[in-house]
Structure 1
Amino acid sequence: MKTSSSFIAAFVLLCSNVIAQSPSKGKITGDVKESATKPLPFATVLLLNAKDSTLAKGAISSESGTYEFENISLGRYLISATMVGFQKSFSAPFELKEGQLSLKVPSLIVAENTQTLQEVKVVSKKPFVEQQVDRMVVNVENNIGSAGGTALEVLEKAPGVTIDRQNDRLQFKGRQGVMVMIDGKLQQISMQDLMNMLQSMPSDNVEKIELISNPPAKYDAAGNTGLINIVLKKNKNFGTNGNYTLGAGYGRYEKLNGSLGLNYRNAKYNAFGNVSVFHGRFKNTQDIDRTIAFQDQVTYMDQNSPRVGNPQNVSFRGGVDFFVTKKTTIGVLATGFLNQFKMNGVSRTDFRDKNQTLTSRFETDTYNHNRLDNYTANVNLKHDLGKGRELTADADYSVFNGNSGNDLRTTYFSPSDEITSKDVFRNIMPSNIQIAGAKIDYIHPLKKGKIETGAKSSFVNTDNDMRFETQVDNVWTLDPTRSNQFIYKENINAAYLNYSTSLNKKTQVQLGFRTEHTHSQGNSVTLNNVVDRNYVNLFPSVFVSRSLDTNNVLNVSYSRRIDRPNYRNLNPFQFFLDPYTFQQGNPNLRPQFTNSFQITHVFKGAFSTSLGYSRINDVIADQIPKQIASENKTYVTTENLDHQDSYNLTFSIPVTVKKWWTMQNNISAFYNRYRSFYYGADLDLGQFGATVFMTNNFTLPKGYTAELSGFWNSPTQYNLLQAKAQGQISAGFAKSLWNRKASLRVNVNDIFFLNRFAGTVKYQDLNFKIYSRWESRQVRVSFTYRFGNQNVKAARQRSTSTDDIRNRANSGQN
């Protein structure tokens, strides 16, 4: 074999003198920096063909910011580099040629400023979905199909994300427990309030969505499935500028949205602010068919509930960054929202016996009203100590004021449709959540590596006063047996240490360690019951990245995380939807703990394959159904199940079909298995599932672009609920106007009206089916105009000290 190889080599060398010289290969090296002296590790570095900006090869910068491309054909290229929190930057074009087969590119500075290329026009743009070293990023800003919609609809399109509108649940890679951040701030409100808020937030406010499966120790330990960070748009220019967006949509009812952003920056300070509004109406229809067996009787309950919802939202964000010195910035920030959600409808339920004979029926007029206002103030400091050392500090205070409730008027009928009785009651729950916190973070570069450390403390005080009242002769009377005041107090103190280094030229390692002390007290005042918990937990994390060659990178990570019960689920109140259906809290809920492992392979900085496994102990399972068979009543609550095993496999496949046609394909397969002793029996439920997402982008002549996208979620298991498949197909187009200062977008969401929810529960004596449809098919139009100086630098992105706490305030309210 060796002799044969030598012969071939000699033959080729001989022929080259007669025919032509063989194509040579070369090597390109360089480094990426955050500033003139500070390297930028783990940046995504792409080698682009200078002619048309198409991808030649990709790499990840080392701990010291260096990169290397081997076996490169001769030609003219340029380098691009990007990383989360930085603008994409480009080198000047250069040429790899004979006589210079080893070329070192000058250092590429990656900063917040967008660098303009003078010699080459970059025709590529950010793909809708891109895989980075530690996260997947969904670039919403330039996506046609997202224009004029809501943040919830955009999130539903994110690869691996599943939205259960029926039960206000959010899953990532087939698992619940994901924490949602907005601009790095965890939203501490109930899951229903979070869903309502995202339903009311215009998608035109969203720049991108970051999906982080295994966050490092710097992040709070909450979130067993990982973190979803929704990054809102900010001005990126110098001087004074702004933008406004107007949007309208229609499905069954109207949807209107608008936003205004302003930014001013000079040498001493940067002032910024934006406000957005949303108004809409939508229809939701829900059917529940129950089979209830009790002793020798069987009762069939068929329920139909059409409802019309009306979300309204005003959100705002404003602040000032003062540049005290070149190295010190002090900022103040105020954010908040006013969210109101109303829904009314008529629920009709038929009772039938085992022979399917109608025995009675009832109709319930429902009026659901939810109001939640949030005001947050933040003071922050960023100081550059020199030589790559950096100190940041935050202190903030946040208040949530809410009031939610249901008014129910029920009329009972005989089989012959005669009125037999009436029942009128309501439940009201005013709530107040106060959150205070502070944190400090420090970065210290070493000769070989970097240390990050910090500490944080937060205090929470919640007060929920649930009142259940009945009406007799037009007089409302409090029912103390179904009312309860619940006061919850919590203090969390945390500290972390991260160390990252390069073991060699191709291997980077990050080790993290976080400890959290939690003291909580839940006081059911009316029931005279106090649950006091005091515990300390340790949360290690490991991240290893290995560059196998210039095209292949392998990442391996492990982390341990915690999820604490949200405040509303701890309150043992009963929240009624109709006389036979209600929700109940559980003051005895325990935190759940997750150990997660993940291995990711990235090819050419674009194609990725990820394999993950997690074990969750004391699973916090929400919307668990229970039944009082003797009274034909069904209710849902939140319980701790023993454990859940979850496996997931994810593929990210970008494809350039033509220069004018690109595709992004994401496929996630997962298997979830729940095991516990629950409801008087051994529970052992497992289910394979998958999600598929595809988007096609078309660049057309004369400034037009178009998009065709769709997703499909396979049947899967939500705790006891077996859910059927969901999916939709959407399309849209956009036109740039007035020298790219304005854009007009039109899209149709769920063209074939396929997106719906259907599920079945069959466990012990539980036997029911759920079917739900909503106004998923919509036509939307959005217009955006940018004015002023378009070279103003953006306001700083930063997280505050109470991000994680605010998210739990959002998880579970009704």
Structure 2
Amino acid sequence: MAFFLRAGLLFCVLLLRFTTTFAIKDPIVSGSVRDEHGAKVEFATVALHRAADSVVVKTEFSDESGTFRFDKLPAGEYFVSASQVGFERSQTARFAISSIDQTLAPIQLRPSQKMQLKEVTVQARKPLFEREIDRIVVNVEGSPLSAGATSLEVLSRAPGVTVDQNDNLALRGKQGVLVLIDGKRVPMTGTELGDMLRALPANSVEKIELITNPPAQYDAAGGAGIISIKLKKDGRQGTNGSANVSYGYGRYGKFSTGLSLNHRHKKLNLFGSYNHSDRNVYTQLDLHRNFYQNNQFAGSSDQANSGKTNYVTHTYRAGLDYSLSRRTLLGFVVNGLAMDAEAKLTNATRTFDEQNALQSDYQSANRRTLSIPNRALNVNFKHSFDSTGRSELTVDGDIAHYETHRLQTLATTFVLPVRTPTTLDGNLNGALDIRSGKADFTHTFSNKLRLDAGVKMSWVHSDNNVLFKNISEGISVIDTGKSNQFRYDENINALYVNLNKTFKKLTIQAGLRGEQTNVTGYQISGNTGFERNYFQLFPSIFFKQSVSKLHDLSLSLSRRIDRPTYNQLNPFRAYIDATTYFTGNPSLFPQSSYNIELTHTFRQKFVTSFIYTRTDQPIVDVIQPAPEGNRQAVSTFQNLTRSDYFGITLAVPVQPTSWWTIDNNVVAYYNRFIGNLAGTSINRGIPTYTLNSTSTFTLGRGWTADLSGRYQSRELYGFLDIRPLGQLNVAVQKSMWGKKGTLRMNVTDIFYTNPVHATAAYANYVERFNQRQDTRIATASFTYRFGSDTIAPSRRRTGGAEDEKRRAGGAS
């Protein structure tokens, strides 16, 4: 501990001492938009294009003074176009970007006669994928594939993102992903996170950012990277909004609708949104298990599970921004989610002895209800110390309350041998409270030196109480072996500093984050608990070298940590059927990872990355024999000893014609796991790859279309062997009524090739399972925008409780 403290202090002193040497201000391109008389043009649409193929790289709006700016730009050649209602589109000459800021000559717009374009063909919508220095941006808002979909479905189609059978998210084949929604962490992982993202309709999402090696400003969690979901914000002046409705059908129907309103006038901006969905989801799970004793076959079982789950969700968000002065902003945001789910599942199980003779035959009816009313409040403050905005302070305070109410009735009838029917009743009630505060300061000196620093404190209290009863012949008995109450308290205090500098064609960024963690957990049943207190340092460094006009190289290194989620530690049980249940593991330890990534960019668009990650004590989702025996299986989480990840990614965008753009992404990796579990040693991995290809067609007269395909080869993840899978999706979109109305239609997983087939193998147990869900869906949706069309710049809102909220839940 003392060594890390001394090392951290020394590192900070060195960084501060050499601030003038190691600081950066990202290259910025700025300019202004004027009319033919030289007057400013407010809220014009300004697009940055690659000169090589005219593809839009970024889009911004000119502000009240007619000025605009683009930052975080890779070296290369570009041009800028500007447009506004009532004017002809205009563009600049080609120019090159290196490491020096550029101010362009004013762009002059002339009154429109016929709005003709002759010099360049500009895309009618934002590109589906944008690549910035440290992230990939998926523009969900303009994609017809998002129609009627959930955020989880959109995520599952993003480049490098995979979702397994338990809704665990992985980025480029690595689990341990940090999920943010508008800068705030989602308080869940696994199935709880999946349910949350199913409750969030894709039509409320503007874009998704995939950040694989985040800097020190972010919490140290997220060894695999960050998935940041940005919700839509209406930036139009006056009073305006939008309404949407969609209906999809696969095995069952799926309905969603929503309304957003915004009023912006002078110093005040009021906003709010409400979304409602009623979705029915089909699930089929078939299991075959073989049991062994002393390397000898001891019997088997076959199970068939199927049923329907109905999700009814209400999500809301409301807030205001008020300008206390020209340099000071104050904001309030309240948001909530109320989801009620009811699952009706059936199970048929047959067991066989070592001679394959039938031993038992029984059936179960599993009815589960879930209610999760959640609410959160954010207060945010932003102050610029001068008119240039070179020195800024932002402060955020968050309070959040999350509840979980889960009822389960598992009724089992026996055919062979004949027994009295039994019923297992479960009642889980959980509460989670989060308080968090953070402050961030940034200052850019006159010599383009930039310093970022911040502090964050968070407090978490979690209390879960579960009661199980066995009912037989009308007699109810509390099951003390399954019932318990688990309490968890956590406090994390963090400091960070981040410094940046550009030397001609070389950019260096160095950061250090320190986090002090204090946790206690207590299980009332058995009077057992744990207490952990530790301080850790998380350095990060980034290099970017512009080799030539065609080639750029970058290198990033970082250390990160993934603490177990609160429900991953909670030993409560959730039964899938009479012989299968999920439980948390209070003995879990955090996993820490060391990441290195080398990236080559060619012609500003062809990107190749080489990645290595070593993870100590990786947390994996496992299925293994239950300690009770009797051929029961438990799904839980365990720490293995180590994992080594070697990966390569390729981004190959192609534009065969002016109306057809193809974005191809390849992720190939070898992930080796080392450890011992259930008497089984593991030291293995196989090469795996995923292919994503999305074609975007601009068809004219307001019509656009998307065609996307995805394929994942066989994968080994811990003890799980997953067979290949993939899907093909198609969508069309029509803009109408002066672009105020948008009609979208799509079909996902056309050939129904996305079911999961996998095997989990241990020394004394082998399980094969096939899982099918309602993924082949045809959907139609309509969105209507109303009110003013005058655009005003919007401000970014962030929160301070991101890390704690993600870990407020675990898989179940």
Q: Same fold (TM over 0.5)?
A: yes
Specify the SS of the correspondent of 1:145.
helix
Distance 1:108 1:163, change over 3 A: farther
Q: Which residue is equivalent to 1:78?
A: 79
Q: Considering only aligned residues, what root-mean-square deviation do their CA atoms show, in Å? A: 2.9
Residue 743 of structure 1, CA deviation: 0.7
Specify the SS of the correspondent of 1:324.
strand
Residue 718 of structure 1, CA deviation: 2.3
After TM superposition, the structure 1 stretch with the greater mean CA deviation from structure 2, 126-135 or 562-571, is 126-135
What are structure 2's unaligned runs of at least 5 residues?
Answer: 1-26, 34-45, 60-67, 83-87, 108-114
Match for residue 93 of structure 1 among 91, 94, 97: 91
Q: Which residue is equivalent to 2:642?
A: 643
The whole-number CA distance in structure 1 between the counterparts of 2:771 and 2:806 is 27
Residue 545 of structure 1, CA deviation: 1.4
The whole-number CA distance in structure 1 between the counterparts of 2:243 and 2:768 is 45
Q: Which residue is equivalent to 1:454?
A: 454
Q: Which residue is equivalent to 2:104?
A: 107
Q: Letter of the aligned partner of 1:153 in structure 2?
A: E
Q: Which residue is equivalent to 1:220?
A: 219
Distance 1:104 1:720, change over 3 A: closer
Note if contact 1:469-1:476 (Cα within 8 Å) is conserved in structure 2: yes
Q: Letter of the aligned partner of 1:298 in structure 2?
A: A
**1:32 aligned onto 2:34:** no
Residue 475 of structure 1, CA deviation: 4.6
Q: Letter of the aligned partner of 1:811 in structure 2?
A: G
**1:147 aligned onto 2:147:** yes
Q: Which residue is equivalent to 2:690?
A: 691
Q: Number of aligned residue pairs: give it.
A: 744
Q: Which residue is equivalent to 2:563?
A: 564
Q: Which residue is equivalent to 2:587?
A: 588
Q: Which residue is equivalent to 1:412?
A: 414
After TM superposition, the structure 1 stretch with the greater mean CA deviation from structure 2, 744-753 or 626-635, is 626-635
Note if contact 1:272-1:795 (Cα within 8 Å) is conserved in structure 2: no
Distance 1:34 1:220, change over 3 A: farther
Q: Trace 1:179-258 onto structure 2 (pairs within 5 A).
A: 179-258=178-257
Note if contact 1:624-1:639 (Cα within 8 Å) is conserved in structure 2: no
Residue 633 of structure 1, CA deviation: 1.3
Distance 1:596 1:285, change over 3 A: same
Note if contact 1:463-1:488 (Cα within 8 Å) is conserved in structure 2: yes
After TM superposition, the structure 1 stretch with the greater mean CA deviation from structure 2, 578-587 or 722-731, is 578-587
Q: Which residue is equivalent to 1:501?
A: 501
Q: Letter of the aligned partner of 1:206 in structure 2?
A: V
**1:482 aligned onto 2:479:** no
TM-score normalised by the chain length of structure 1: 0.87
Specify the SS of the correspondent of 2:385.
strand
After TM superposition, the structure 1 stretch with the greater mean CA deviation from structure 2, 293-302 or 281-290, is 293-302
Q: Which residue is equivalent to 1:469?
A: 469
Q: Which residue is equivalent to 1:3?
A: none
Residue 623 of structure 1, CA deviation: 3.0
After TM superposition, the structure 1 stretch with the greater mean CA deviation from structure 2, 429-438 or 144-153, is 144-153
**1:680 aligned onto 2:679:** yes
Distance 1:731 1:580, change over 3 A: same
Q: Trace 1:416-455 onto structure 2 (pairs within 5 A).
A: 419-446=418-445, 447-455=447-455
Note if contact 1:78-1:91 (Cα within 8 Å) is conserved in structure 2: no
Distance 1:463 1:794, change over 3 A: farther
Q: Which residue is equivalent to 1:773?
A: 772
**1:549 aligned onto 2:548:** yes
The whole-number CA distance in structure 1 between the counterparts of 2:634 and 2:401 is 31
Q: Which residue is equivalent to 2:334?
A: 334
The whole-number CA distance in structure 2 between the counterparts of 1:264 and 1:400 is 30
C-alpha distance after superposition, 1:195-236 (max 9, x if no partner): 012122221111111110001000000111010011111112
Specify the SS of the correspondent of 1:290.
strand
The whole-number CA distance in structure 2 between the counterparts of 1:578 and 1:462 is 27
Q: Which residue is equivalent to 1:747?
A: 746
Note if contact 1:722-1:761 (Cα within 8 Å) is conserved in structure 2: yes
Residue 54 of structure 1, CA deviation: 5.0
Note if contact 1:144-1:706 (Cα within 8 Å) is conserved in structure 2: yes
Residue 539 of structure 1, CA deviation: 0.2
Percent identity of the aligned residues? 35
Specify the SS of the correspondent of 2:420.
strand
Distance 1:297 1:681, change over 3 A: closer
The whole-number CA distance in structure 2 between the counterparts of 1:697 and 1:739 is 22
Specify the SS of the correspondent of 1:355.
coil
Residue 277 of structure 1, CA deviation: 0.9
Distance 1:47 1:628, change over 3 A: closer
Q: Which residue is equivalent to 1:159?
A: 159
C-alpha distance after superposition, 1:162-216 (max 9, x if no partner): 111x222111111111111111211122421110121222211111111100010
Note if contact 2:74-2:132 (Cα within 8 Å) is conserved in structure 1: no
Who wins on radius of gyration, i.e. which is larger? 1
Residue 805 of structure 1, CA deviation: 0.6
Specify the SS of the correspondent of 2:481.
helix
Q: Letter of the aligned partner of 2:139 in structure 1?
A: N
Note if contact 1:57-1:604 (Cα within 8 Å) is conserved in structure 2: no
C-alpha distance after superposition, 1:511-533 (max 9, x if no partner): 01000000000011122012000
C-alpha distance after superposition, 1:368-395 (max 9, x if no partner): 2222121111111000012500000011
Specify the SS of the correspondent of 1:568.
helix
Q: Which residue is equivalent to 2:5?
A: none
Specify the SS of the correspondent of 1:435.
strand
Q: Letter of the aligned partner of 1:327 in structure 2?
A: R
Q: Which residue is equivalent to 2:600?
A: 601
Q: Trace 1:236-315 onto structure 2 (pairs within 5 A).
A: 236-294=235-293, 298-315=298-315
Residue 154 of structure 1, CA deviation: 0.5
What are structure 1's unaligned runs of at least 5 residues?
Answer: 1-29, 37-42, 71-76, 82-89, 98-102, 111-116
C-alpha distance after superposition, 1:278-311 (max 9, x if no partner): 1110211000100112366621100000111111
The whole-number CA distance in structure 2 between the counterparts of 1:701 and 1:617 is 53
Distance 1:456 1:192, change over 3 A: same
Residue 449 of structure 1, CA deviation: 2.1
The whole-number CA distance in structure 2 between the counterparts of 1:435 and 1:341 is 24
Q: Which residue is equivalent to 2:130?
A: 130
Residue 632 of structure 1, CA deviation: 1.1
The whole-number CA distance in structure 2 between the counterparts of 1:423 and 1:581 is 16
C-alpha distance after superposition, 1:464-503 (max 9, x if no partner): 001111113435332222211000000000000000111x
Note if contact 2:623-2:760 (Cα within 8 Å) is conserved in structure 1: no
The whole-number CA distance in structure 1 between the counterparts of 2:94 and 2:602 is 23
Q: Letter of the aligned partner of 1:396 in structure 2?
A: D
TM-score normalised by the chain length of structure 2: 0.87
Distance 1:407 1:629, change over 3 A: closer
After TM superposition, the structure 1 stretch with the greater mean CA deviation from structure 2, 793-802 or 181-190, is 793-802
